[in-house]
Amino acid sequence: MPVTRENPRVSVNKLGQYLTATPSLRKRIIQGQKHPVDPQYLRYPAAAEAIVEFLCEGRDEVILRYHQRRLLNAQPASDYDAHRLALCAEALQRCLVAMDGLASRAVASPAEADLPPLALGGVDVSVRPEVLLRSVDAQGMMRSGLLKLYFSKHTPLDERSGQYIATVLLRYAEERLEQRGPVDPRLVGVFDVFAGRLYQAPRARQRRMNDVVLACEEIAARWPVH
């Protein structure tokens, strides 16, 4: 049975798309966020789990190759399932090619799954980062950060949308990770898996955050009519 969200809520990845989208796409994004698909039809959870394991278990490419073979050899239950498995395997192949962009001296661990959303402009922004990153700086102080994965084969992030998402991630990290030590912006980013590109928040962030808040206010205002 289709779900309808009564209160405005948007994922951070869709918010990044929204900020650079045409009017018709913005309308579709709001509709899709208000009436989300059943979780069983989400395409990339298996790929995300494999990439998180890769990052948190020593960044050994054997992990990605194992999960890629497992997905390709799985018996699909339907045509949709076959398509989903193929997409996840392809995502892992793209990650293998771009793994240098993910390599880091930071220690990675799975992020908590139940972290609350970020309230902006009357909208709950669902951030749900996949990975918590921690590193020690030159002064011996522990620094922390977050990594978000982005999956879309046909709609890659561009520079603007990637920086918008990374800017929201940085705000989220600053609000949620204070008890784990200061946040290092260099440890905060969104990785576009199919494009093999990591986006980080730019130095000048206030204007982008203003844009984000205005976009959220617009989503909140349009929510009742979609």
Q: What's the pLDDT at 196?
A: 93
Q: What's the pLDDT at 47?
A: 96
Q: Which residues pair with 191 in a beta bridge?
A: 149, 198
Beta carbons of 126 and 33 less than 8 angstroms apart: no
Cα-atom radius of gyration of the chain, to the nearest Å?
18
Q: What's the pLDDT at 103?
A: 59
Q: What's the pLDDT at 2?
A: 64
Ranges of residues in the chain with a pLDDT under 70 are: 1-2, 40, 103, 178-180
Q: What's the pLDDT at 127?
A: 96
